[in-house]
Amino acid sequence: MSIGEFELIRRYFVRDKITVPGHPSVGTPQVTLGIGDDAALLEVPEGERLVVTTDTLVAGRHFLPNADPGDIAWKALAVNLSDLAAMSATPLAVTLNLTLPEADESWLAAFSTGFWNLADIYELPLVGGDTTRGPLSVTITAMGSVEQRYALRRSTAQIGDVICATGTLGDAGAGLALALYAFKQASLPLASDATAAALADEALLNLSDDHQDYLLDRLNRPSPRINSGVGVRGFASAGMDISDGLLQDLGHLLAASGVGAELEIDNLPLSDALKAYARTSLKAHAQARDWALSAGDDYELLLTIPPDKWQQLDNTPAIKSKLTAIGKVTKTLGLRLTKQGKAWEHEGLAGYQHF
Ligand SMILES: [Mg+2]
């Protein structure tokens, strides 16, 4: 590398009172000892458990090779924070392992800016990591904490629970179609598994710039639902994040809990941008619905909430307004889709697996 490992870390990833005056992640109470020694010392709030998750993003597989370095960093951190949110945890600290073909300073500057853009929202300190030379990949480990009784599991959904999702679904699927279209226009080589995803059609390309930017942003810079995850402590009976598509992830939750579900497709929460696309034709309407059901990368939370707790959430509109009821947990195993309460056939949905 043209600059040494220590210099690289110091320049882009170490923040202290001298280089970043008043930076919030310096001296955070959970970090007894940060970067600079052989390992970090962290303090977990009394009575809480340490929650640990890690994810690797690889160029060409998890993001397009021409992706913006700031977007890559944001997303690598966001997917890990989303897993903490899914456990109802509060983030404590992260580590970053970066493998780079070369230490390109402008790339690193953009990457670290994207990283801190998200980390700073949660005043999240970077407490360690490693840099190596090789094909571009980013591994982040996120640590958080939660009282054991509030930690959300997949296996604890109860019959009769309301199934709900945070935010909106399908945006990242539409965003990927736009990104792949732009990528193909530039005649860049595509990994074989990426070619299976739908390319943007005329109607998507004709959406307003604002709508298109919104959909791309949802793909590139997902918002981890930390506040919702913490907000449903004591209310939700089970939960996970939606990374592989609603149907697939709900299938995992139902299987783990030994229950079934009914899902009302007319209640799927769609963004204004995706609704604008869906209105253009019947085909677009079906495509938008399929993205909401089966496209991955939305990083919303999928939660089950007992009916009485669902009612109680009316008293905390700041939390409840982020949630949309999309179905209910049933004793009958399997997943049944309904439209206006009537059984609905779901043919040809990508990513859907019967179980
Ligand atoms: Mg997850």
pLDDT average, residue stretch 337-349: 82
Q: In angstroms, rounded to a whole number, what is the distance separating the alpha carbons of residues 50 and 48?
A: 7
How many A from CA of 8 to the centre of ligand 1?
31
pLDDT digits (tens, 9 = 90+) for 289-303: 999 999 989 999 999
Residue 54 labelled as part of a binding site = yes
Instruction: Check pLDDT > 70 for residue 321.
Output: yes
Residue 279 labelled as part of a binding site = no
How many A from CA of 85 to the centre of ligand 1?
9
How many A from CA of 301 to the centre of ligand 1?
9
Domains of the chain (ranges, CATH numbers): 5-150 (3.30.1330.10), 162-343 (3.90.650.10)
Instruction: Check pLDDT > 80 for residue 14.
Output: no
How many A from CA of 241 to the centre of ligand 1?
5
Residue 181 labelled as part of a binding site = no
List of residues 6+ apart from 156 with CB closer than 8 A? 237, 238, 257
pLDDT digits (tens, 9 = 90+) for 240-280: 999 999 999 999 999 999 999 999 999 999 999 999 999 99
Determine what percent of the chain is predicted with pLDDT higher than 70.
87
This prediction has a pTM of: 0.90
Residue 277 labelled as part of a binding site = no
Residue 130 labelled as part of a binding site = yes
Residue among 57, 118, 67 nearest 220 (CA): 67
How many A from CA of 165 to the centre of ligand 1?
14
> Would you state the structure tokens that stand for residue 42, as one six-digit string?
């962290």
pLDDT digits (tens, 9 = 90+) for 37-73: 778 888 899 999 999 999 999 887 777 777 899 999 9
CB crowding 226-252: b at 16 or more within 10 Å, else e: bebbbbbbebbbbbbbbbbbbbbbbbe
Q: What is the reported pLDDT for 6?
A: 62
Answer yes or no: are the C-beta atoms of 83 and 53 closer than 8 Å. Answer: yes
Q: What is the reported pLDDT for 8?
A: 73
Instruction: Check pLDDT > 60 for residue 112.
Output: yes
Instruction: Check pLDDT > 70 for residue 19.
Output: no
How many A from CA of 3 to the centre of ligand 1?
35
